[in-house]
Chains A and B, each alone.
Chain A
Amino acid sequence: MNDISINKRLALIGFGIVLAGLVMALAFPDGLYNVNKQPSFIGVVELAEKIKNREKLNIIDLRDGESFEEFHIPTATNIPLDEFDLASIKEQIIVYSGGDLLTRRLWDALPDSLRERTVVVYGGVNDWYDRVLYPKLPFGKGVTNKRMVDKVHNLCQFYGGFADFENDAALIAYYERDLSNASWPKVHRSGGLIRKGC
């Protein structure tokens, strides 16, 4: 009999916690500190066009100096995340990192007022490398958006890269993606011992 009352008590506690969760989730869908609020993203192709058109941009590379020296997006300045001063954000900034982990840490630390002035490069320098400098582009009859292919190809040549053409119309999907409602791309720490999945 005592055992049953423990079970019922546990069920009641669990129900209470989850009911509170439901109320909170409906009242504050982004969480207490807006942890689920998504930043505004800029795609690498759009960024490449803006740099090419010599628009005045404030691009910040959050990685350490060594990685920056090795490779970075043209016109970017290097401010490693550890030395980043939040008070220095006066106007709109565009930030990127290798994957998105450093950018995400910066985003978590930003107050709401500064978040409005911050734009994140979708996919960071990895996507710049894979999608602008050395992209895989589709060719053949299935390609519907020929203009986009040409645009990326021109940008790739402008920045001194090299495009691979493959007979796979689905390759264009990345470039046609609407980033206005996008959420953080799935990135995981790479190169370690940890193989995810069973």
Chain B
Amino acid sequence: MKNPKPYWNPYICGIGLGLVLLAAFLVMGRGIGASGAMTSVVVTGVHTVSKSHAEASAFYMGYLGDGTIHPLKDWLVFEVLGVLIGGFISGRLAGRNKIKIEKGPLISNNRRFLFAFIGGIIMAFGTKLARGCTSGQALTGGAMMNVGSWLFMIALFVGAYAMAGFVKRLWI
């Protein structure tokens, strides 16, 4: 296996990402997102298991809509499918696609899985509370100069830097 190619200049990638975001604004009048699609998947699952339970909750109903359209036929779901494809293409072109586990040198694979899972649960709570993730809130709202998005972004960096010292063993 040949060595993967180096990453691109982050500013160039940032400009590219900014233009993608701008295209979404211009064509759709909305930004990009990721956590919304995951919520659609979860809500569809809940709706399949127990219809009455899903329809009793205001939170689930917000993603189910009026029931005429399948909840997975949603703009964000298609967008996240695209993210998976785009990530795969880029990884393939740069020779970075292989089964691997990203972790610090001091931690075992199982512990890394456990922490990735726990981190995901905590993060899901944060995104749903804040009504968006780094893509839906920080990028989209940040570009629109949305007050709440900038608050979220600042709080995100504060939270992560404050926690970073405690979980140093995970990464260094």
> Do A10 and B131 touch (CB < 8 A)?
no
A10 touches B29 (CB 8 A): no
Give the number of residues in B that approach A within 8 Å (Cβ atoms).
26
Q: How large is the interface on A (under 10, 10 to 19, 20 to 34, 35 or more residues)?
A: 10 to 19
Contact in complex: B9, A197 (CB < 8 Å): no
Residue of chain A at shortest CB distance from B131:
A198
Q: Could you tell me if B65 and A10 are in contact, using CB atoms closer than 8 angstroms? A: no
Segment of A29-37, A86-94, A152-160, A187-195 in the binding face? A187-195
Q: Does B74 contact A (CB under 8 A)?
A: yes
A112 to B65, CA, bound (A): 42
Counting residue pairs across A and B whose Cβ atoms lie within 8 Å, the total is 44
Q: Mark B1-35, 1 if CB is under 8 A from A, else 0.
A: 00000000101100100000000000011100111
Instruction: Establish whether residues A196 and B11, one from each chain, have CB atoms under 8 Å apart when the complex forms.
Output: no
Chain A positions within 8 Å of B12 at CB level: 10
Q: Does B69 contact A (CB under 8 A)?
A: yes
- Nearest CB on A from B52, distance (A): 22
Chain B residues within an 8 Å CB radius of A195: 36, 63, 65, 74-76
Which residues of chain A come closer than 8 Å to B127, judged between CB atoms? 198
Contact with B along A171-198 (1 / 0, CB 8 A): 0000000000000000010000111111
The distance in angstroms between the C-alpha atoms of A174 and B63, with both chains bound, is 28
CB nearest to A189 among chain B residues: B29
* A196 surroundings in chain B (CB, below 8 A): 29-30
**Is B69 within 8 A of A197, CB to CB?**
no
Does A53 sit at the interface, judged by CB under 8 A? no
Interchain residue pairs with CB less than 8 A apart (12): A6-B9, A10-B15, A193-B69, A193-B73, A194-B28, A195-B75, A196-B30, A197-B132, A198-B36, A198-B76, A198-B133, A198-B135
Q: Could you tell me which B residues sit within 8 Å of A by CB distance? A: 9, 11-12, 15, 28-30, 33-36, 63, 65, 69, 73-76, 127, 131-133, 135-137, 140
